[in-house]
Every structure is written in C-alpha cells, then in structure tokens.
Homo-oligomer: A and B are copies of this chain.
Amino acid sequence: MTDRFAEYRALAEALGVDAVALVPGPNFARLMRHEFHTNERPLVVVIPVDGPPAAVVPNLELGSWAALGFEGETFDWRDQTGHDAAFAALAAHLPLRSVAVEGQVMRVFVHHALRNAYGTLDIRDHEAGIGALRVVKTPEELAALERAVAISEAALEEVLHDTAPGQTETQVQSRLLGALFAQGAEGLAFGPIVAAGDNSARPHAHARPDYRIGPGDALLLDFGARWGGFCADITRTVFVGDPSAEAREVYDTVLRANAAGHAATRPGATAHDIDDAATSVLEDSPFADRIRTKTGHGLGRDVHEAPYIMRGNRFVLPPGCVFTNEPGLYAPGGFGVRIEDDLLVTDTASRSLTTFPRELRVIRC
C-alpha cells in the first residue's frame, strides 16, 4: 500500500526536523482529502520521519475522521474538558524535539498547545517547504481548477452583459455573487473586488453601496469561484463610456505587460523571470510610478500560495505549476487597471486557463 505520508516524511528529513505537523487548510486537505472547518477547536496531524503518524482531533469530528482511514493513533478531546490532555497524550506517545509547521496556516493557539505539551519543542515555520508539495498539480486537480475558471468566466460574462451606468458597486458585486453560485460555484476563492472610479486604484478595494458607476469610470472586477477545493482568480478591467486617451494608453501598457508575463512562462523559467518580464513593460512606460504589486502568486487550493511571482524569487517553474499573471497600474485618486490570468506551465511552454477576452471593453452609456 502506498504511504500517503511519504513525501511529508521525506520533507521532514530534508528539513532536519523530527516531524511535520499539519492543521486543517490546503496542505491538510491535499493529504487527507477532506476539508474541516477552521474554528476554535484544535485539530492537528503529526507525521514523523519514521513510524506511524498521530493526531489530535475534536471528539465532535470523530465521525468524519473515521471515514478518512487515518493510519495512526488519534487522541480526541471534548469541549467540556478541553484539549490539554489530548496534546499531552500526543507528546507522550510521539516524542519530538523539532517540528516543521505551516506558518501561514497554523494559528498561535495550536503553536502554544504544541509548545506547552512538549515543553522544549522547536517549532519551525516551513510554510514554503510544505507548500511546495502543492506546486505541481495532478491532472485531477487541474480539472477542478479549470472548472472553477469556467464557472468564473461564465459568471463574468453574465454580469458584464447586464452592467450599466447608475448601478452601484455593491449591486454589481451582488449580481456577480449570484451568477457565480448559479453557474455552479461551491464557494468563493475570496471576497470579490468590484471597484469603479478612484476605488479601482486600490488593489484590494471594497465595493461601496453609495458609488454609482458612471461615464469615464474604470470598472475592475477581481474574483474567483471555488470548485472541488480549487480556486480560480481572474481580473478584468472595463470602461464605462469612452475611455480617455490616457486610460487607453494605461490599458494597453498593462495588456502588454500581461502578454510579456505569459510569453516568459515556460518550464525552466524562474518566478523572477516572469515578474521581470511583466514589470519591465510597466517600468518602461510613462506610468512607472503607478506600479504597486508584484506580478502574481501561485494558485490552487489556496488563492494565494507558492510560488510568488516576484523579482528575486529564483524558484524554477515546473510543468504543472499554476499561478496568476496580474500586472496592474494604480493612480491613487485616479483609476487603476489590472488584467489577471491563471497560467499553467506545460511541458514545453504555458497555457492560460483563463480565456476571457482581454481586449479593451466599453460599457456603453
């Protein structure tokens, strides 16, 4: 029988720690093929270099847990008595001096529960190493991601088709959410961004109930469906009424940066190379002072994951890696443009999973 923990054991050995500890989240979901709600009840799986794994699980979850066929000892605990005894039992059962954890997923209360139970445990943040196991997507994972993209793009077309001047940002957002679920989304990759006018210049803007989109506005939509545990992430920026000459030039610049990022994507290229290709286009334009962000981030079970597409990151892109290519230009108080695709590194080059047209689109007034 295959040891589903093998790659985590090998990772622990390579990192020079006694074990890897995972909590519910993307790595856990990949390993255990089940998503648990993240809540106030600690649940942790510990995978040592050698020997069977062990887990601390809330009694409440034992039904779901039993269905997963966990191969090691499980220490459960009840709300009424708290989790200290279960962590102490784990520590007695599976002695450890050091453990690698996911620093972007594990919260401080689990960190402290482990530390308190073990006494002198060296808890190291190896987010990057653990997350790296998710970088190459399996065909099954890619199929889920592509379905999330298809749902997102169908929803986008539906929403843009019915968008008109006078609608508020929150009205457009509400229609987008309804369309996503109607198209089959199982959840959201993140809270959608629907931002018009000066709000479009804020990379993580919130939709406003009192701002009505009108002539001359840029309208930026950044969102994604979740399906089968995987996230889509797409941005398109459209204009309401005829865009100004400056807006056209900014749009064209971002579009060329997006194309440059795509063109630079192939096996063997580094994350640095992609960011450099896209960002250089922005830097060589009259709008270099409007650069606010790196070019992108890995995409999968988590909407922001490794690899981060930024200069200085010498990570070599392998076939099967998926990331966002999302150059943008943002003028505070003015407007912003972002064009975001989800790129898959193929055996020889790359393919954009997002295929929604990138040409400048105008909503007529």
Give me the interface of A with B, judged by CB distance under 8 Å.
35-37, 39-40, 59-61, 63-64, 79-80, 101-109, 111-112, 123, 125, 127, 170, 174, 177-178, 181-182, 184-188, 190-191, 201-206, 292-294, 297, 304, 308, 310-312, 330, 332
> Do residues B304 and A39 form an inter-chain contact, with CB atoms below 8 A?
yes
Number of identical monomers bound together in the oligomeric complex: 2
Cross-chain contact of A181 among B106, B181, B297 (Cβ < 8 A): B181
Cross-chain contact of A204 among B64, B204, B293 (Cβ < 8 A): B64
Cross-chain contact of A178 among B181, B190, B205 (Cβ < 8 A): B181
CA distance in complex: A109, B170 (Å): 33
> Do residues B187 and A182 form an inter-chain contact, with CB atoms below 8 A?
no
30 A-B contact pairs sorted by A residue (CB < 8 Å): A35-B206, A37-B204, A40-B104, A40-B304, A40-B308, A61-B203, A63-B201, A63-B202, A63-B203, A63-B330, A64-B204, A79-B293, A79-B310, A80-B310, A80-B311, A80-B312, A103-B107, A103-B108, A104-B109, A106-B107, A106-B108, A107-B108, A108-B123, A111-B111, A174-B182, A177-B181, A178-B181, A178-B182, A181-B181, A187-B188
> Do residues B80 and A109 form an inter-chain contact, with CB atoms below 8 A?
no
Report B-chain residues with C-beta under 8 Å of the C-beta of A186.
170
Known: A80-B312, A103-B112, A108-B125. 19 other contacts (CB 8 A): A37-B191, A39-B304, A40-B104, A60-B293, A63-B203, A64-B202, A79-B310, A102-B108, A103-B109, A104-B108, A106-B107, A106-B108, A107-B108, A111-B111, A170-B186, A174-B184, A177-B181, A178-B181, A187-B191
The residue of chain B having its C-beta at the shortest distance from the C-beta of A207 within the complex is: B186
CA distance in complex: A344, B186 (Å): 31
The residue of chain B having its C-beta at the shortest distance from the C-beta of A107 within the complex is: B107
Cross-chain contact of A174 among B37, B80, B108, B181 (Cβ < 8 A): B181
> Do residues A105 and B107 form an inter-chain contact, with CB atoms below 8 A?
yes
CA distance in complex: A111, B109 (Å): 11
CA distance in complex: A103, B255 (Å): 43
CB distance from A242 to the nearest CB of B (A): 26
The residue of chain B having its C-beta at the shortest distance from the C-beta of A226 within the complex is: B191
Closest 3 interchain pairs by CB? A103-B109, A177-B181, A103-B108
The residue of chain B having its C-beta at the shortest distance from the C-beta of A67 within the complex is: B202
Report B-chain residues with C-beta under 8 Å of the C-beta of A184.
174
Report B-chain residues with C-beta under 8 Å of the C-beta of A104.
40, 107-109
CB distance from A144 to the nearest CB of B (A): 13
CA distance in complex: A201, B67 (Å): 13
> Do residues B204 and A61 form an inter-chain contact, with CB atoms below 8 A?
yes
Report B-chain residues with C-beta under 8 Å of the C-beta of A64.
202, 204-205
CB distance from A290 to the nearest CB of B (A): 12
